[in-house]
Homo-oligomer: A and B are copies of this chain.
Amino acid sequence: VAWLQAMLDFEAALARASANVGLVEDAQAQDVAASCRAELFDLDQIGRSAAAEATPVIAVVARLRDLVPPEARNAVHLGATSQDALDTAATLVARRALQPLLSQVSAVAEALAELARAYRDAPQVGRTLLQHAAVTTFGAACAARLVAVDEAVAALCAVREERLAVQLGGPVGTLGHAGTAGPRLVAELARELELAEPVVPWHTTRGRMVELSAALGLLCGELAAIAQDVALLSSTDIGEVSVAAPGGSSSMPHKRNPAPAVLALACAHRVPALVATMLAAMPQELQRSAGRWQAEWGTLTDVLSLAGGVAYHCRRAVEGLRVDDERMAANVARLLAVTGTDVVDVGSAGAFVDRALDAHTRRAR
């Protein structure tokens, strides 16, 4: 349904943009736009047609032509090709999906910022290759993760602002019906949908979709690192933290599984390969690809949905995280005993926490 409505948003905006540059009448455009409502369409029937034609657009456009008054019929999908509708729809779907995702991630960042602040000077064993190495602070560990999340969010937002663009080129990218007014039409469409305006149609140059996927993959990777730290630190053998709402076990009632961390890791584990699929789909042939473009649809949808899962579960893994101060201190004492010192020296840990929090505050503004 989200995809269908996005396709219809494209068709409505295309009609209005066509009116703006004088290719159709305003009244026609209004007629078209008025019929672009998902509830007037039969999803099952569109699905069947999509399997036969290798694109759902044919059925959508046919139904839309039936819905509008006869005099507006030629204003429907004017000069556009299936890919124009689908690429723009995918872009709209992605932009809409990013909002709840970014809000979950923002909650993750706030939780990390709080932990960094609260445990700025709390000594913790630093573990390298899982071996006790030297003392750091729990705040410094949280601060490093906070910086990473903030930077990944910044990269994703940059892609959202600059790279999510409308697609409009017609069958072979020339907008043949528009004479030389093609670029103006594209600009109008971009304005209508508040998306970026591409230099030229990008039917077989897929950098935009790939950059979006890669930025999501990057974010998932940083969030997964957090989830993994939570899983490790809440292991029985370390026991320094535990999640707010641990999961149970079908056979062992005493267990307190770090369920949200595990689910965040499970979702995140699936993302890198999907990004590879998007990258591998890039060499698209001539004016429209026979297979690689069509492989993008489900892949991008999966990336968005898994990234949403990673963010949701990661938030549940860090919000309300319980820190076992005693255990943390006991582990530090054990390390100090091994290294034969009784001085805890955490160097610039606090200074790094402050830098991370400063940077976080500056970004938030």
Contacts and interface: CB of A to CB of B under 8 A. Distances in A.
Nearest to A265: B291
A275 interface: yes
Contact of A133 (B132, B177, B231, B287): B287
B218 A210 contact: yes
B179 A348 contact: yes
Interface in A289-334: 289-295, 298-299, 302, 331
Contacts of A245: 52
Nearest to A80: B251
Interface stretch (A31-39, A92-100, A234-242): A234-242
Interface residues of A, number: 148
B172 A126 contact: yes
Per DSSP, chain A at the interface is helix
A285 B232 contact: yes
Interface string A225-258: 1011101111111100000010111111011111
A46 interface: no
B265 A127 contact: no
Contacts of A220: 279
Given A140-B174, A207-B151, A355-B183, A128 B258 contact: no
A129 to B, nearest CB: 4
A174 B352 contact: yes
Given A202-B144, A288-B128, A52 B214 contact: no
The copy count of this chain in the complex is: 4
Contacts of A262: 54, 129, 290-291, 294
B231 A130 contact: yes
Q: Most B CB atoms within 10 A — which of A53, A233, A264? A: A53
A82 B283 contact: no
Interface in A181-237: 181-183, 198-207, 210-211, 214, 217-218, 220-222, 224-225, 227-229, 231-237
A347 interface: yes
Interface of A: 51-55, 57-58, 61, 77, 79-82, 85, 125-137, 140-141, 143-145, 147-148, 151-152, 155, 170-183, 198-207, 210-211, 214, 217-218, 220-222, 224-225, 227-229, 231-238, 245, 247-252, 254-277, 279-295, 298-299, 302, 331, 335, 338-339, 345-352, 355-356, 359
Given A81-B249, A148-B202, 19 more contacts: A54-B247, A77-B250, A81-B251, A127-B237, A128-B249, A133-B252, A140-B173, A141-B173, A141-B287, A144-B173, A173-B352, A179-B348, A180-B348, A180-B351, A228-B285, A232-B285, A237-B238, A273-B276, A280-B280
